[in-house]
Amino acid sequence: MSLLDLPAGAWRATHPPASTRRPRLPEFERGSVWLVGAGPGDPGLLTLLAVRALEEADIIVHDALVSPEILDFARPDVELDDVGKRAGRPSPRQEEINARLIRHARRGLRVLRLKGGDPFVFGRGGEEALDLAAAGVPFRVVPGVTSGLGGLAYAGIPATHRGLGNSVTLVTATDSRGELPEDLDWAGLARARSTVVFYMGLRKVDRVAANLLAAGRDAATPAAIVSAASTPRQTAIYSTLGELAADAARFDPAAPALIVVGEVVGLADALAHGDSAMASLAAAL
Ligand code: SAH
């Protein structure tokens, strides 16, 4: 059954038929590439365009971050091209992935490039789009829910909140060499009432926390590490900036994980709703 084709229910008697009210979605043309964000994990966070792309694609080029439940939306005869990192085996180089997308499109296939979260947030979607544009391959970008905003919501953490968080910064803790970037503005990130979300920082929690403390952020600032947000494996460690590194060493959270620092993390006590979120996910499967 397709998500876009739910069977008619009794409620429709009082509504116009759903088919006339639904937005018309663009065609997935043969020989084109859609760069699609799959969100942080929960299939309920897919966009309508992402579902359309999954249902129509001839080939899906996907990362390790994309959950299997999401690939279940695809056609049974779809070709899967897994370019994610596998235990012990490195993922193909970015240029090789870009070349593959172009090759698949030139074979006349509907090519779905599926990425975790949002393709343009630390997803290298921009690099792929630039290569497709240069090669003259038609493409469309379908934004997704980025883990550092929507994923955090599943752990009860609003990215901003009046009085507690008046800005949010999405930061990568890993540069192209695999190191903590040298040019991060730690003084800016240490400002009170700013929310800072670090992607790809799990192995660098101690240095991230130490840099923020050295730049003047209060050790009592609430901080958390959220793993596998919006999936059935979601876990969260709620701590403070001063104790985050020790808590990470003690609880050893799993990848993928986000580090979030800011007063907004303190709202999780009242807002964490992981159980109900997971119940709705289970019901949808
Ligand atoms: N494009 C993705 C980010 C890719 S970079 C997005 O918009 O979310 C990979 C990093 O994203 C991971 O190291 C981790 O920090 C974060 N991440 C992705 N999915 C996650 C999830 N479900 N839970 C926690 N962190 C996640």
C-alpha to C-alpha distance for 214 and 220, rounded to whole angstroms: 14
Amino acid in the structure at residue 223: A
Q: Please indicate whether residue 42 is annotated as part of the active site.
A: no
Determine if ligand 1 sits within 6 Å of the CB of residue 208: no
C-alpha to C-alpha distance for 177 and 49, rounded to whole angstroms: 34
| pTM of this structure | 0.89
Which whole number is the average pLDDT over 51-69?
93
The reported pLDDT for the residue numbered 93 is: 86
pLDDT band of residue 63 (cuts 50, 70, 90) is confident
The answer to whether residue 7 scores a pLDDT higher than 90 is no
Q: Is 271 left (phi over 0), alpha (psi -120 to 50) or beta?
A: alpha
Kindly list the strands in the beta sheet with 235-240, ordered across the sheet, starting from the edge strand earlier in the chain: 167-172, 194-199, 257-261, 222-227, 235-240
Q: Which CATH architecture has domain 26-145?
A: 3-Layer(aba) Sandwich (3.40)
Per residue in 79-107, pLDDT (tens digit) is: 999 998 665 566 788 899 999 999 999 99
Whole-number Å distance, alpha carbon 256 to ligand 1 midpoint, is 6
Lowest mean pLDDT among 55-69, 160-174, 269-283: 269-283
Closest ligand 1 atom, residue 40 Cα: 22
Lowest mean pLDDT among 121-135, 164-178, 194-208, 270-284: 270-284
State the angle between helix axes of 205-214 and 244-251 in degrees (0 to 180), rounded to the nearest 10.
Answer: 170
Determine if ligand 1 sits within 6 Å of the CB of residue 253: no
The answer to whether residue 280 scores a pLDDT higher than 60 is no
Determine if ligand 1 sits within 6 Å of the CB of residue 236: no
pLDDT band of residue 198 (cuts 50, 70, 90) is very high
Task: Look up residue 273 and give its two tokens.
Answer: 């709703």
Indicate the domain borders of the chain: 26-145, 148-275
CATH no. of 148-275? 3.30.950.10
Phi then psi dihedrals of residue 235, to 5 deg: -135, 155
Please compute Rg for the chain using Cα positions. Answer: 20
Q: Please indicate whether residue 200 is annotated as part of the active site.
A: yes
Residue 30 CB neighbour total at 10 angstroms: 14
Closest ligand 1 atom, residue 234 Cα: 23
Question: What is the three-class DSSP state of 191?
Answer: coil
- DSSP states of 72-134: TTS-TT-EEEE-S-BTTBPPPPHHHHHHHHHHHHHTT--EEEEESB-TTSSS-HHHHHHHHHH
Q: Please indicate whether residue 1 is annotated as part of the active site.
A: no
Two domains, one topology: 26-145 and 148-275: no
